[in-house]
Amino acid sequence: MKSIAVFASGRGTNFSAIFQEIKKKRLKACLRLLVCDNPKAKVLQRAQKVGVRIALINPKDFLSRKDFESRIIQELENDKIDLIVLAGFMRLLSAEFVRRYRGRILNIHPSLLPSFKGTQGIKDAYDYGVKVTGVTVHLVDEKLDHGPIILQEAVRIEEEDTLASLERKIHRVEHRIYPEAIRLFLEGRLRLDGRKVRIRKT
């Protein structure tokens, strides 16, 4: 059975969604490790409650990003992690780290990439006034919010939507399509063809 590590810095709702899919046996994997860089993150409580091992690695405790990431790598290797799932991890991984785990790091972003990259994807789309935004799951490469796209789903922004209601709509989609992208990875159905990800039919 494949082992998953979730990287998160905040509330951890995607962590919980993934854990529930594993618990219900809809994902054949073990969520073995939470990597968190924020001692105040609510995701720590979620992981503790369900018994997932926590690696709280605060970058302030390290002299360099290389030392910080070396500690993360040590945790990943100790648990023989097969797949890294970024779920609101508010830290850009180095090119060296990405190359080490190339093809084994997924990220979810709350917009239809390449539009509205960065940490405020929902708010940026809402403030810009677009009528459609969405969610993207992609493989991670050396650039910010840039790697080959696995799944996308559009979300309409209605006239009556507030930023808060749009966030709720986006999160509902995230909690559904992120486990699906993970499932495709675990089943070996993702094939990289240049910049494009092809999904092999069962």
- How many CB atoms are closer than 10 A to CB 2? 15
Element holding 67 (H helix, E strand) = helix 65-78
| Rounded-to-integer distance, Cα 83 and Cα 150, Å | 15
Look at domain 108-202 and name its CATH class.
alpha beta
- Would you list the domain boundaries of the chain? 1-101, 108-202
171 catalytic per annotation:
no
| Rounded-to-integer distance, Cα 7 and Cα 85, Å | 6
| Rounded-to-integer distance, Cα 68 and Cα 36, Å | 12
Q: Which one is catalytic: 109, 138, 146, 171?
A: 109
Q: What is the DSSP letter of 94?
A: P
Q: What is the DSSP letter of 101?
A: T
| One fold for 1-101 and 108-202 | yes
Q: 36 by DSSP, 3-state: which?
A: strand
Q: What angle do CA 83, 30, 153 make, to 5 degrees?
A: 60
Q: What is the pTM of this model?
A: 0.95
| Backbone phi, psi, residue 69, to 5° | -70, -30
pLDDT in tens, 78-89: 999 999 999 999
In this structure, whether the domain defined by 1-101 belongs to CATH 1.10.150.240 is answered with no
Could you read off the pLDDT tens digit of each residue along the chain, which spans 202 residues?
899 999 999 999 999 999 999 999 999 999 999 999 999 999 999 999 999 999 999 999 999 999 999 999 999 999 999 999 999 999 999 999 999 999 999 999 999 999 999 989 999 999 999 999 999 999 999 988 889 999 999 999 999 999 999 999 999 999 999 999 999 999 999 998 878 899 998 7
Pairing type for strands 190-193 and 196-199 reads antiparallel
> Would you state the pLDDT for residue 194?
78
